[in-house]
Chain A
Amino acid sequence: MGIIDVNHLSKQYFIAKRQEGMWGAVRSLFHREYITKTAVEDVSFSIEAGEMVGYIGPNGAGKSTTIKMLTGILVPSAGDVTVGGLVPYRERQKNARQIGVVFGQRSQLWWDLPTIESFELLKQVYAISDQQYRKNMDTFTEILRLDEFYQTPVRQLSLGQRMRADIAASLLHDPAILFLDEPTIGLDVVAKERMRTFIQEMNQERGITVILTTHDMADIERLCKRMILIDQGRVMYDGGLSKIRDRFGKSRILIVDLEKDTQLQVQGAELIRSEGNRKWLRFNREEITAAQLIQQVSIQADIQDLSLEEPEIDSIIRQMYEEGLSVG
């Protein structure tokens, strides 16, 4: 039994058809028509204490819905969840003490107050001792440089600052488990990196179990040994990252800006897009190196600029569909 056990978990949303106007709203109290939307379907997995797991999938896959069931926000439609031996939605307050939660898109801090006040309020809310509070605040301030914006109201923080404050706030009460829903969404490269370093440190040094959702492949590569891939509410893959990457992550895309629009004839790569002077070439890095490819191109045309792209999670999933892999 793991610290988190999920068995045949499903969630359906019943979305009421909107009825217009005041009377529509009153009528809808008594008679409503629903559309059923299955957001999570028959999901099972188990996570051991101390693991760091990436919960990955494209937009709308059901990641947030799963996290909301694990944190006790939503009641499952079917199946079981236990987190640290508790059923989250039945024992919300007890569960709240053992988990930390961060939603990348929305802050849990007091919007209109200087940032430091949110920390002080959370100290009261979680009944954190002075000693524990000081210790954590010192650590977090040092790593995340919270002191740069202590006195700034949360609503005036940059996205990167806000995420730093939010993740620190979620760890103030020393939770055993940390849920991060899109912790790097919208951040610039430096801020992303800082976030990742912090998450890694918390996992390695404090042994906090971390579940993070993302659709940023770099987050996973950097942080997670294990990933659970979901699409349309179902688990497509659960296991090590290397296996997926070996199989699907070998393709790269070379983007070149040419001096003038030229018909390229290249070996070992596929022209997947072309917009004026800009060309997108997909290749398999085991069959041809980027250098070889660039050389081929430069013989045929003058290159003004170039960049290399790793495959996005979305395209990996698309590729998984095409090649029909569905590892349970």
Chain B
Amino acid sequence: MSFSSWVRGTRLYFHMVAASIRAQMQYRYGFFMNILGWAMSYAGTAVTMWVMLYSFQSLEGWSFWQLIFLFALAVLSWGVCVIFFFHFRSLDQYILNGTFDRFLVRPIHPFFHFMAMKFDVGAFGQLLFSIAAVTLAYIQLGLDWPFWKWGVFTSAVIGGTLIQGGILVLISAIAFWTTRSERFYWVVMFPAKSMMNYPLSLYPRAIQWVVTFILPFAFVNYLPALLLLDKPHPSFSSYWGAFSFAVGLVFFSICYQIWMMGLNRYKSAGS
């Protein structure tokens, strides 16, 4: 792809995203409720975690504020991911009501077109929340990262966005085969995200293995947090945490390929 088509693509993305935001603002009440809803749901999770963690003060050798950091890191990349990819889970709706057809008769890439259709402004509420949580943990833990650790942190956020975005893309691809996707979000993503709020060493070996090598959730927060907080990994080098971005890139492109494979099987909807 040439440079000018990248520029055009980026401009187009912003145009469409702006349209999506204006569309969401048409429903003013819903718009603010959405933002509030996201913030509330995370505040809720945070309170629950707080209460739980506070009662044991430490878990698997993780201190209270370290646990908060682990949690906040996951929420941070999830927040970014939600903004761009959250609507992928409801691809089945787009297919059933026939909206998806239009992505195939326009001169832009269908994946890109679908991605640009929605931009979840509500998720900003959550993003602010998690930035605050990370900052607080950073201060409480008295951290003072050298430059390379900020690199690891950035790679974890971008990589985490790509990994979780990849899972959402994968979930949406299921709709091409089964005409269903939303419900798989609730079986796969929801439990996985709750699990990630705690140190992975709590879980059975098989699960740890799956989330490291197959659905690489471990690279979203657990592995980078080990490295950033100077904690040893029970079996691997803690430098694994530096590879979130690379893992995210590879994983996302695999998911994208599967989505494109699904697209070839697209059946549209009966009228």
Contact = CB atoms under 8 A, between A and B. Distances in A.
Interface residue tally on A, bucketed by range: 35 or more
Given A22-B183, A25-B180, A29-B177, A125 B105 contact: no
Contact of A96 (B107, B174, B178): B107
A161 interface: no
Interface stretch (B18-26, B54-62, B247-255): B18-26
B23 A73 contact: no
Contacts of A248: none
B109 A93 contact: yes
Contacts of A93: 106-109
B269 to A, nearest CB: 9
B19 A73 contact: no
A25 B179 CA distance: 10
A125 B22 CA distance: 17
B23 A113 contact: yes
Nearest to A75: B264
Contact of B178 (A13, A25, A64, A71): A25
Contacts of B108: 93, 125
B110 interface: yes
Interface in A212-270: none
Contacts, number: 87
B107 to A, nearest CB: 4
B264 A101 contact: no
B90 to A, nearest CB: 15
Nearest to B100: A73
A72 interface: yes
Given A29-B174, A127-B8, A103 B101 contact: yes
B106 A96 contact: yes
Q: Which of A16, A68, A71 has the most CB of B within 10 A?
A: A68
Contacts of A64: 271
A26 to B, nearest CB: 7
B7 to A, nearest CB: 12
A97 interface: yes
A106 B264 contact: no
Contacts of B50: none
A112 B267 contact: no
A92 B266 CA distance: 13
A121 interface: yes
A192 B101 CA distance: 25
B98 interface: yes
Contacts of A29: 174, 177-178
A306 interface: no
Contacts of A96: 105-107
B102 interface: yes
Nearest to B108: A125
Interface string B16-46: 1001001110110000000000000000000
B178 A28 contact: yes
A117 B107 contact: no
B12 A125 contact: yes
Contacts of B26: 112-113, 153
A108 interface: yes
A125 B98 contact: no
A56 interface: no
Contacts of A68: 101, 268
Contact of B105 (A99, A110, A127): A99
Interface string A107-124: 010111100010001001
A111 B23 contact: yes
Contact of A110 (B23, B179, B183): B23
Q: Which of A13, A64, A73, A117 has the most CB of B within 10 A?
A: A73
A73 B101 contact: yes
Contact of A124 (B15, B24, B99): B15
Interface in B54-105: 97-99, 101-102, 104-105
Given A74-B268, A103-B271, 20 more contacts: A16-B178, A28-B178, A71-B104, A71-B105, A73-B105, A73-B268, A74-B267, A75-B264, A75-B266, A93-B107, A96-B105, A101-B105, A103-B98, A103-B101, A106-B99, A110-B23, A112-B23, A117-B22, A124-B12, A127-B8
State the 4 A-B residue pairs at the shortest beta-carbon distance, nearest first. Answer: A112-B23, A96-B107, A108-B102, A106-B98
26 contacts: A13-B267, A22-B183, A22-B187, A25-B178, A25-B183, A25-B184, A28-B178, A68-B268, A73-B105, A74-B266, A74-B267, A92-B104, A92-B105, A93-B107, A93-B109, A96-B107, A108-B102, A110-B19, A112-B26, A113-B22, A113-B23, A124-B16, A125-B12, A126-B106, A126-B107, A153-B26
Interface of A: 13-14, 16, 22, 25-26, 28-29, 64, 68, 71-75, 92-97, 99, 101, 103, 105-106, 108, 110-113, 117, 121, 124-127, 153
